[in-house]
C-alpha cells in the first residue's frame, strides 16, 4: 500500500527531519537513506519501521543538522592539504621555477575540504531521530489506513459479484445430470440403439456421471472462503497474506467446479468468476 509521512524533532544538539514513503510490494523491504555518519543506526531504524509496516517497499530519508550555534561541520584534512602543497613544491623543482597552488586548487581537490556533519554521537542523534521517525510513520500509517478503507469497500463489492456467480452455478449444477441423460439418449438414438431410459446400463451411467459432476462440496467451501474473507477484512491484524492465501483457494475451487461440471454454461460462469477474482487478487498483493 502507498503512503507518505513526515516528522521532525530537535534536541539541544541536533535537529532531525524524517520522511517515510511506501509503495506496493508483496514482501517488506526497508531502504534507509541517511548520512554515512549515521550508518550505525540503520538497524534501529529498520526495526522501528518493521514494527509498524509488514508489507511494501518503505523508503526512509533522514536529514540531520546541528542545532543552531553548533559546529557547521566543515573539516579540513590537514595531512592531505600538506601533501598537496608539497606536490606543488616538487612540481616547481621539476619545471625550474616555483609553483604555488591557489585557493581554488585546494577546493577542487577532493577530500581536502569536507562539508558534512560534525562528529556524531549516535545516541545523542537518536534522541532527535526517534521521535521524528515515529511521527513520519504515524503519517504513513494514516494514509495507508485510508487507502485500506477504500480497498475494503472494493473487496466487499467484488465478493458480492463472486457470490452471484456462486449462486448461478448452484442453480445450474443440479440440472446437469438431466441434461446429460437427454444427451446420452440422443446419442444412442443417433447410433441406432434404442434403449429404454430405465435400462440398468443407462441408469448406472447416469448415476456415475451425477456423482462425478456433483459440486456441492466445492460450493460449500466457496461459502466458507467468502465468510472467512469477510472476517479477515474486519480483523484488527494485517490480513494481506491471509487474503492472498484465500484467493488461491477460491481459484482452486472454481477450477475444480469447472472441470467437474463439464458444462458450457457453467464453464462460462467460471471464466467470469475467475476474471473477477483476479482483480481481487491483484489488489490483495497491495494489502498489508
Angle at 227 between CA 223 and CA 231, to 5 degrees: 165
Other C-beta atoms closer than 10 Å to the C-beta of 144 total 22
In this prediction the pTM is 0.60
First to last CA, the chain: 7
Q: What is the crossing angle of helices 216-234 and 240-261, to 10°? A: 160
Computed over its alpha carbons, how large is the radius of gyration of the chain?
35
Q: Are 220 and 253 a contacting pair, CB within 8 Å?
A: no
Q: What is the per-residue pLDDT for 157?
A: 92
> Which DSSP symbol is given to 110?
T
Q: Give mean pLDDT in consecutive 10-residue pieces for the chain, a chain of 288 residues.
A: 89 91 84 88 93 88 78 70 87 87 81 65 90 94 87 91 90 66 57 60 58 76 92 82 90 86 81 92 80
Q: Which residues, including other chains, have CB under 8 Å from residue 1's CB and lie 6 or more apart? A: 22, 24, 55, 56, 144, 147, 148, 151, 286, 287, 288
Q: Which secondary structure element, helix H or strand E, spans residue 17, and what is its range?
A: strand 14-23
Instruction: Give residue 114's pLDDT.
Output: 61
C-alpha grid cell, residue 269: 460462469
What is the structure's pLDDT at 44?
Answer: 93
Q: Is the dihedral of CA 77, 79, 83, 85 positive or negative?
A: positive
Q: Where are the domains of the chain?
A: 3-70+117-140, 74-115, 143-284
| pLDDT in the model for residue 184 | 55
Predicted pLDDT at 109: 79
- Predicted pLDDT of residue 209: 55
- Burial (Cβ within 10 Å: 0-12, 13-18, ≥19) of residue 222: buried
CATH 3.40.109 fits 3-70+117-140, yes or no: no
Q: What is the pLDDT of residue 216?
A: 79
Pairing of strands 56-66, 28-33: parallel
State the pLDDT at residue 233. Answer: 87
Amino acid at each position: 500500500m502507498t503512503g507518505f509521512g513526515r516528522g521532525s524533532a530537535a534536541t539541544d544538539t541536533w535537529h532531525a527531519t524524517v520522511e517515510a514513503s511506501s509503495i506496493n510490494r508483496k514482501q517488506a523491504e526497508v531502504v534507509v537513506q541517511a548520512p554515512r555518519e549515521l550508518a550505525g543506526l540503520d538497524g534501529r531504524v529498520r526495526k522501528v519501521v518493521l514494527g509498524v509496516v509488514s508489507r511494501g517497499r518503505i523508503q526512509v530519508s533522514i536529514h540531520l543538522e546541528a542545532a543552531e550555534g553548533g559546529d557547521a561541520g566543515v573539516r579540513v584534512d590537514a595531512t592531505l592539504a600538506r601533501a598537496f602543497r608539497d606536490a606543488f613544491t616538487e612540481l616547481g623543482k621539476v619545471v625550474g621555477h616555483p609553483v604555488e597552488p591557489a585557493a581554488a586548487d585546494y577546493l577542487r581537490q577532493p577530500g581536502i575540504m569536507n562539508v558534512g556533519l560534525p562528529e556524531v554521537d549516535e545516541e545523542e542523534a537518536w534522541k532527535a531521530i526517534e521521535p521524528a521517525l515515529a511521527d513520519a510513520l504515524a503519517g504513513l500509517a494514516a494514509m495507508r489506513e485510508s487507502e485500506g478503507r477504500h480497498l475494503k469497500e472494493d473487496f466487499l463489492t467484488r465478493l458480492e459479484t463472486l457470490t452471484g456467480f456462486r449462486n448461478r452455478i448452484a442453480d445450474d449444477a443440479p440440472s446437469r445430470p438431466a441434461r446429460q441423460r437427454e444427451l446420452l439418449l440422443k446419442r444412442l438414438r443417433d447410433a441406432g440403439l434404442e434403449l429404454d431410459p430405465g435400462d440398468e446400463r443407462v441408469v448406472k451411467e447416469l448415476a456415475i456421471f451425477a456423482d462425478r459432476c456433483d459440486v456441492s462440496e466445492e460450493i460449500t467451501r466457496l461459502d466458507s472462503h467468502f465468510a472467512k474473507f469477510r472476517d479477515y477484512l474486519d480483523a484488527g491484524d494485517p490480513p494481506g497474506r491471509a487474503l492472498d492465501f484465500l484467493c488461491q483457494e477460491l481459484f482452486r475451487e472454481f477450477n475444480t467446479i469447472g472441470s467437474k461440471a463439464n458444462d458450457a454454461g457453467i464453464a462460462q460462469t467460471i471464466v467470469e468468476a475467475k476474471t473477477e477474482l483476479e482483480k481481487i487478487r491483484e489488489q490483495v498483493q497491495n494489502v498489508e
